[in-house]
Amino acid sequence: MYQHLQSENMANRYYSCVACDKKGLDKDTVGINKKLLGIDVKSFYCMDCLADYLGCNVQDIRDKIEVFKEEGCKLFQ
Ligand SMILES: [Zn+2]
């Protein structure tokens, strides 16, 4: 099983994709996972797998991140 994430304050480099095990998901990637999948989500997808999961493409997700940033969403600060 996946190691329990010990703390929300842990550096994002400890986050890895639950689907492909890509390491070092950046804070935008983690933020969009929380935004789209739920704030309490414990498993994160990389951009590629998230796009696959949602049935859209990576650029769509990047566009969403930019919109959320412009709205001042704290998940992306
Ligand atoms: Zn992945």
pTM comes to 0.78
Residues in the chain: 77
Q: From the CA of 46, how far away is ligand 1's center (Å)?
A: 4
Residue 29 CA to ligand 1 centre (angstroms): 11
- Tell me what pLDDT residue 53 has: 94
Note the pLDDT of residue 4. 52
Instruction: Express each pLDDT in 23-43 by its tens digit.
Output: 999 999 999 999 999 988 889
Distance in angstroms (rounded) separating the CA atoms of residues 72 and 24: 24
Confidence bin at 1 (pLDDT 50/70/90): very low
- Distance of CA 13 from the midpoint of ligand 1 (Å): 14
Q: State the distance from the centre of ligand 1 to the C-alpha of 69, rounded, in angstroms.
A: 23
30 class by beta-carbon count within 10 Å (0-12 exposed, 13-18 middle, 19+ buried): middle
CB contact set of 64 (below 8 Å; sequence gap of 6+) = 32, 35, 36
